[in-house]
Amino acid sequence: MVSTTAHITGFGSALPECVGQDVLWEGFFARHFAGAEAAGRVFRSARVRRRHTAVNPLVEDVSTWSTGARMRRYAQEAPPLGVGAVAAALADSGLAAEDVGLLAVASCTGYTTPGLDLRVTAELGMPPDVQRLLIGHMGCHAAIPGLGAVADFVSSRDRAAVLLCLELTSLHLQPATESLDQAVAHSLFSDAAAAVVVQPGPRNGGLAVVDIAALTDPAGADHMTWNVTDLGFRMGLSPRVPDVLSRHVAPMITELLARHGLTTADVDAWAVHPGGPRILEAVRGGLTLPDAALAESRHVLAEHGNCSSATVLLVLSALRTACRPRAGRYGVAMAFGPGLTLYAALVHAT
């Protein structure tokens, strides 16, 4: 068996229409959440300036659409974004589409068969023997186990792979309600496609995937939910999520780093999934990080919102633009989702 180090060598993204948070509130959500007195405060405190929407509620109110109608729209909107993100990542890495051995697709916001994975491979001219993997309905943390699966393929097969995370949360606008948890969800979530190319190493200028860690707290299983209903997928968010994260994040990350003789002082870059301002503060406090350590995570939240599984890849890309982690240094990417689950990846800049 071949065993080699997997390196992230290219990033790409594709984003639908951009709309300002204030415009969305004033033009639609103020009416939509008229029965929830605190909804305006929720939107203002989300720390989101603008979001991307494949389905703009200022133009189309899909809150009463059936799940079937939403899935048909997903099949229409998702492929061009997926093709754009993967093509950009391939170009960034210098890899040709015909050299890809595996395409893994993570998405929890839409399903169709033949799926997005087949549409992307065919459109870009990947070889007919390319392997395909769908990582479905894991939620916001799916990029990290997806990266782990792709890295394992690259290491064991000595072939390049691509991970695509694509989420269209705007398709799942829920009917008007007085429920504050729905106001929280609709104040944060956004649409994006993000992709990374992973190749066998060594690769100068890449990010070696060193290790993956996971921790699930079953006691928090009802804190974060994503349920299929007759009217799309409905998010459930408990205000207790940050408290659970703050309790678990330090022991988990300490153990991950210790496996490699490292501590938080050795980490030069933190790519933390910005599930919301309280999530970021819980992680920062739990790990006793300086404010500047999460600057890119806050920037992605402000400029893109929470794009579910695609978000942590956008943060990693922003860190790469900022030249972090520096050559020879380590970085940690982490994301959180239903379960309640924490996932983290340790990477090394080469």
**Is there a catalytic annotation at residue 140?**
yes
The pLDDT value given to residue 1 = 43
pTM, whole model, 2 decimals? 0.97
CB 50 within 8 A of CB 303: yes
**Between the CA of residue 41 and those of 44, 157, 295, what are the distances in Å?**
5, 51, 23
Comparing CA positions, the residue from 193, 196, 194, 174 lying closest to residue 185 is: 174
Contact 191, 54 (CB under 8 A): yes
> Beta strand pairing status for 6-14 and 207-216?
antiparallel
Q: For the chain, 350 residues long, give each residue's pLDDT as a single digit of tens.
A: 446 899 999 999 999 999 999 999 999 999 999 988 899 999 999 999 999 999 999 999 999 999 999 999 999 999 999 999 999 999 999 999 999 999 999 999 999 999 999 999 999 999 999 999 999 999 999 999 999 999 999 999 999 999 999 999 999 999 999 989 899 999 999 999 999 999 998 888 999 999 999 999 999 888 999 999 999 999 998 889 999 999 999 999 999 999 999 999 999 999 999 999 999 999 999 999 999 999 999 999 999 999 999 999 999 999 999 999 999 999 999 999 999 999 999 999 99
Residue ranges and CATH numbers for the domains of the chain are 6-200 (3.40.47.10), 207-349 (3.40.47.10)
Separation of alpha carbons 184 and 179, rounded Å: 9
Q: Is 98 left (phi over 0), alpha (psi -120 to 50) or beta?
A: alpha
Q: Which of 140, 165, 307, 323 is catalytic?
A: 140
> How far is the C-alpha of 109 from the C-alpha of 175, rounded, in Å?
17
The pLDDT value recorded for residue 203 is 87
Whole-number pLDDT of residue 3: 63
What are the φ and ψ backbone dihedral angles of 63, each rounded to 5 degrees?
-65, -20
Contacts of 74 (CB under 8 A, 6+ apart): 109, 110, 111, 112, 168, 171
Query: Strands, E, within the chain: which ranges?
Result: 6-14, 17-20, 50-53, 100-107, 131-136, 160-168, 191-200, 207-216, 224-229, 232-237, 267-272, 330-337, 341-349
**DSSP-assigned letter for residue 307:** -
